[in-house]
Structure 1
């Protein structure tokens, strides 16, 4: 196993993340019998899933588990560590790799759709600030699966990393936008078609065709009169990104 120590002798990982990797023993005797890191993290995930990320606090978790707040700090040193562990549990392991012979585009698209499903099942994850590169067992496993999909493309390792970051960033951004729009529509009490129609009507009143001719042409085309099927924007965006990556792969093949 690779050395997990930095040049100064200190670990790069907090103790709770090391425990998730099996690099150190988890506390076996907590302040209360049965208290474990897994129970703490799973309880936090349950709270986030039911009430949102803002509802997660050490005090709330301790109350749910029937222990003191301070007792949790034997297992998790800070809330930021807890967030990382919560995401790892919510992500779970990645789907199995594609069968032999599947091309890189199909494999990477499958990875992207699977990642999107994880976000849509756990919308609270979109509210967790990014804290660094993959550093937990499941997150690294998902990274591995994406890198596997790019084997045989001829891309250098740095280019593969950039491709995975590009696709992963698109997935996260689209999921966040979709979740926010869904929340707005839900709060309005109207159907997506009604909200879109109202927006189009408002825009027609505000956007003078002489000043905004391109917007006026778009409105006149009728594209704002009905909502697209739910996955259309994701499919469209992902396909355009994969088209661009295909050009990069072709350029590498031609060298």
Structure 2
């Protein structure tokens, strides 16, 4: 269950923090600040990368920085605002690629791959609910870039926003599936292939292939192809191509013909995107 949400703090303080207005206005004189807001964001992100977003508390971040928890509050109002700062910081630092061919399909695939790379580097980001996103400079730069990637698709403004949400929602779903794979491997100390091999005899005792012939045939083929019941990387590559095919169905060139039709790969050719 998602328990961490962006924009859960005080809006005025959050926006002041994200846009350079500082942390908590105190109205009183105090000791000279020994840390910067970017240093605090980096410490919190490092903690989340290593231990998950649940490990990020004001006390834990303060300890990483050699501060007292009360001192940290002079920079950041609280955990909710800190989470927005963390998100906006990783958004601002995202690598953004612009494919040489300039077609919308290649640009949209690049947007998907860039977000997949973000989740791979910072898995905790996929766990945060962002229905009310932190409207900081990092997010706005990301949103602007990603909307421009869909220019030329022939959609209206509302449809363009929905198309971007469609692409990003798919990537986030794949990122969560990949995180589940990693978590299962860590908890069991076995890869998926090892786990299935170790439990094959138990499954054979209860599973009747004559009763479930389609599941037996296709499940066997998939497990042989992936070395497990499923593959997050394969699901990402296959699904992204289908997502782009779906957007292509909305695309119309001035002469009324689709300007970029379905393909075997997400970029319009036979190339495969990297897994989430």
Cα distance, 1:204–1:79 mapped onto 2, change above 3 Å? same
Note the C-alpha offset of 1:136: 1.7
2:145 is the counterpart of 1:148: no
**1:41–1:85 CA contact under 8 A, matched in 2:** yes
Where does structure 2 lack aligned partners over 5 or more consecutive residues? 1-9, 258-276
Cα distance, 1:39–1:96 mapped onto 2, change above 3 Å? closer
**1:116–1:172 CA contact under 8 A, matched in 2:** yes
Report which structure shows greater RCO (CA 8 Å, sep ≥6). 2
2:11 is the counterpart of 1:13: yes
**SS of 2:224 mapped into structure 1:** coil
Counterpart pick for 2:251 among 213, 235, 249: 249
Note the C-alpha offset of 1:117: 0.4
Q: Distance in 1 between matches of 2:200 and 2:118?
A: 32
Cα distance, 1:227–1:62 mapped onto 2, change above 3 Å? same
**SS of 2:152 mapped into structure 1:** coil
2:195 is the counterpart of 1:187: no
**1:155–1:252 CA contact under 8 A, matched in 2:** no
Map of 1:235-246 to 2, 5 A cutoff?
A: 235-246=237-248
Cα distance, 1:33–1:234 mapped onto 2, change above 3 Å? same
Cα distance, 1:59–1:186 mapped onto 2, change above 3 Å? closer
Cα distance, 1:242–1:204 mapped onto 2, change above 3 Å? farther
Where does structure 1 lack aligned partners over 5 or more consecutive residues? 1-11
- What is the match of residue 7 of structure 1? none
- What is the match of residue 8 of structure 1? none
Q: Distance in 2 between matches of 1:250 and 1:227?
A: 37
- What is the match of residue 102 of structure 1? 102
- What is the match of residue 225 of structure 1? 224
2:168 is the counterpart of 1:168: yes
2:74 is the counterpart of 1:74: yes
**1:95–1:114 CA contact under 8 A, matched in 2:** yes
**1:185–1:192 CA contact under 8 A, matched in 2:** yes
Deviates more, 1:84-93 or 1:175-184: 84-93
**2:23–2:76 CA contact under 8 A, matched in 1:** no
Q: What is the TM-score normalised by the length of structure 1?
A: 0.81
Note the C-alpha offset of 1:168: 0.6
More helix, by proportion? 1
Q: Distance in 2 between matches of 1:53 and 1:133?
A: 17
**2:24–2:73 CA contact under 8 A, matched in 1:** no
The C-alpha deviation readout for 1:99-150, integer Å capped at 9, x for no partner, is: 6751100001001101100110111222323251351212221111111011
